Amino acid sequence: MVFDASWTGEKQLGEANITDFDIKKLCSTLYYTDVHINLCSTMTVDGSAFNKPQIGPTYFKNSAVISRRLYKMYWQEHFAPIMQTGAVPLAKSKEELIRHINNALHINSESLKASSQAILESVITYTDGNSTDRVCALLKTRL
């Protein structure tokens, strides 16, 4: 198991200076991971782009109040479309997290692709791999 701190850039209130190294490390981490566990983050979309099973922990040891708040975070406006796909199981305890990890390690590849695609489509408009071409074409029409 590897726990990876995301950013090395300087942080300011409300923003982070993400370096090229951070982006490369992130892509490498997502590429080589078997299961992607993150706390109510849009990193779920990035992990889904790599067809990785997603799991969301919603528990905080010895604090039911914080655990309820964590659970509610997944249903905030920015993350609700992802949750509505049903593709991100939430772990309400350490035991449930372990169970979700074991299930994710044995997930059928077609089912995983469908879950990943559902997450991607819930947040982004196009999943056909041609977004760069569309941006370039649009820029050409404006020059």
Nearest CA among 116, 1, 99 for reference residue 54: 116
State residue 12's pLDDT score: 66
State residue 4's pLDDT score: 67
Contact status, residue 56 vs residue 48, Cβ threshold 8 Å:
no
pLDDT over threshold 70, residue 5: no
Q: With bands split at pLDDT 50, 70 and 90, how would you rate the model's confidence at 13? A: low
Q: With bands split at pLDDT 50, 70 and 90, how would you rate the model's confidence at 59? A: very high
Contact status, residue 88 vs residue 56, Cβ threshold 8 Å:
yes
The span from the CA of 75 to the CA of 119, in Å, is 14
**Predicted confidence (pLDDT) per residue in 60-89, tens digit:** 988 999 999 999 999 999 999 999 999 999
